[in-house]
Amino acid sequence: MKEMRNSGAKLLTALITMICITSIASGASVTVDSRDVSVGDTFTIDVTVNPEAEVVYSAQYDMEFNPAILQVTDQDTGDFLTQDGENSITVKNDFNNTIGKLEYGETRMGVTSGVTGAGVLATITFEAVSAGSTDLVLSNVVVGDPNAQSIEGVMLNSGTVNVSGEPQNPQLCTTPDPPIHNFGNVPEGETRTWTFDVTNCGGGTLDWTVSGDQSWITVNPTGGSTTTETDMVTVTIDTAGLSDGAHTGTVTVSSEYGTKAGTISVNVTTSPLAPTMSADSLDVAPGDTFTIDVAVDPAGNSVYSAQYDLTFDPAILQVVDHEKGDFLSQDGANSIEVKNTFNNTIGKLEYGETRMGVTAGVTGAGVLATITFEAVGAGSTDLELSNVILGDTSAQSIDGVILNDGVVNVSGSPPPHPIDLTPTALDILDPIYVDYDHPLAATISNLGPGDVQAFNVTLKVDGVVVDEARVDGLSGNSDAAVGFSWRPDTTGSCTLLVEADSDGEVSETDEYNNTFGATAEVLENPTPPPSGAVVTIPDVSATGRITVPITIENVSNVGSCQLTLNYDPDAVIVSS
């Protein structure tokens, strides 16, 4: 009787809820998701429109949030206004991370009809930069019909994001990292400028200063405060009074949360300039993918073609791509690659390019080619240029080309391979009977290439944990079978949910795909098999022989059958 009273209470609650919802949801609505996240998470929030009985042709909204807790990284158009395959146009898509505000507007185009189905108007990508709670408050919401009239009575359902965890400290980042630059050949008495970027890769506010250690190096600005914006620093060199030859200095960006020091170099010339070919230098970390420019400075010569070989240590670097630059096409003329190969086994690139369709060469400095490398091991490797030829308009080699080799220093520990656990299947053996043990099998997949240590997997029925299993480990891009046992105590429909890494032991690339659900119908106990059957053996003569077959069948998948034979062993032979 107690169970029946609870069932009645649930039914009454459901009816009351249905009545309340029916009375409230009488018009169109705009709804913003709510989420619980952690500091450092990047996540999405959907803005959903439900027209109810209205026909919608356009929609707009403003949204406010706390920029000290969240920062917008993107705002993308959804499929609400194009759900029938027609076109739409975004008329406004702005966000301001300083004041914490987004603005969005979109309208259908090329048709006269509107849409009536619910859907996502826009999806906002946020980054949680500090702990706390912030409302996502809608305002200036206008939902328009095909007559360009505002639909009245639109209900606004603002969202909330709760961010847990320790506030993220600021982190100094520069581009390039560190701020290294080679100005190449510069005549004595001239100036050159170059810029690099300072950003805050962490949370909060980053206060920083920048300085040069040589009198011929100046920087502007000399410091700043950065939250999410990018600040540009201009480095100026003045070669007045410098002696002929190579000069180096250091530009240092300092903060409480890190320091970046880069080498600034220049070759001062007081005699006629010589053409140069230079490869960049860079400090990177294992796992980084980065680019190296091979640049040419003609130093007053007219260059029509160029080629080079470049060698590197393949145990430290591997080439991903080798692309043509704009040096030989800087004036808009065409050029053609005559050689572009690389060999990651021996660590060597070969490149050649020539202008075509014109008789003139180029005289301005520029990038001949850009190499994309991946750092696969720690250490230092020279980027050594050889077989370099700069050709003039007469197909003659230009003499005296200076080669400036590059260096790549790879330091640090390789980043861990990503891990992504997700249940992909739950096998339920039908039928399911109340008060009997039933085995279930779940498949847990690791979609990432990284290996994972031990983790727990739970089975929940209607939100209650009924069994738990421990997976000792799972290799990257592989599956594991996990067994559970479930003994239902009530009949009816049940919702089963398998959750991988239920205790949150594993750091994953996607923490929101760790569950897999299914439904099962629990039935009453089946009728047990009959018992007490009697087999009668016909009368036979003393010397006669008769075979009596006895068939035993359990008509259900529960319970058991038992056969008891009472017989005179002197008169009956039993075999199976």
Domain boundaries, the chain: 27-164, 172-410, 421-523
Confidence of residue 320 (pLDDT cuts 50, 70, 90): very high
- Using the CB atoms, write b or e for 108-143: b if 16+ within 10 Å: beeeeebbeebbbbbbbebbbbbbbebebbbeebeb
Neighbour order of strands in the sheet with 172-175: 172-175, 191-200, 230-238, 217-220
Classify domain 421-523 at the CATH superfamily level: Immunoglobulins (2.60.40.10)
pLDDT of residue 471: 95
Q: Which residues contact 515 (CB under 8 A, 6 or more apart)?
A: 423, 497, 498, 499, 500
Asked which of 272-276, 338-342, 372-376, 381-385 is least confident by mean pLDDT, the reply is 272-276
172-410 and 421-523 share one fold: yes
Tell whether the model's pLDDT for residue 128 goes beyond 80.
Answer: yes
Note whether 238 and 218 are within 8 A (CB): yes
pLDDT digits (tens, 9 = 90+) for 377-422: 899 999 999 999 999 999 999 999 999 999 999 987 666 668 899 9
Strands (E), 314-378: 317-324, 334-343, 348-356, 366-375
52 backbone φψ class: left, alpha, beta (φ>0; ψ -120 to 50): left
DSSP 82: G
pLDDT digits (tens, 9 = 90+) for 166-204: 666 888 999 998 999 999 888 888 999 999 999 988 778
* 478-486 sheet: strands from edge to edge: 421-428, 438-446, 478-486
How confident is the model over 312-340, as a mean pLDDT?
A: 95
Contacts of 369 (CB under 8 A, 6+ apart): 293, 294, 322, 323, 324, 325, 340, 351, 353
Q: Is 64 exposed, middle or buried (0-12, 13-18, 19+ CB in 10 A)?
A: middle
Averaged pLDDT for residues 275-291: 93
CA distance linking residue 42 with residue 416, whole number of Å: 19
In this structure, the number of other CB atoms found within 10 A of the CB of residue 377 comes to: 14
Identify the H or E element spanning 7.
helix 2-24
Query: Mean of the per-residue pLDDT values for the chain?
Result: 87
The CATH topology of domain 172-410 is: Immunoglobulin-like (2.60.40)
Beta strands in 34-116 (DSSP E): 35-38, 42-50, 58-64, 70-77, 87-96, 101-109
Q: What is the pLDDT of residues 198-227, one digit of tens each?
A: 998 877 889 999 999 999 999 999 999 998
pLDDT of residue 479: 95
Q: Reply yes or no on domain 27-164 having CATH 2.60.40.680.
A: yes
pLDDT of residue 220: 96
- Binning pLDDT at 50, 70 and 90, where does residue 27 land? confident
Q: How far apart are CA 367 and CA 384, in angstroms?
A: 17
Q: d(Cα 76, Cα 125) in Å, to the nearest integer?
A: 8
Give dist(CA 457, CA 428) in Å, integer.
17
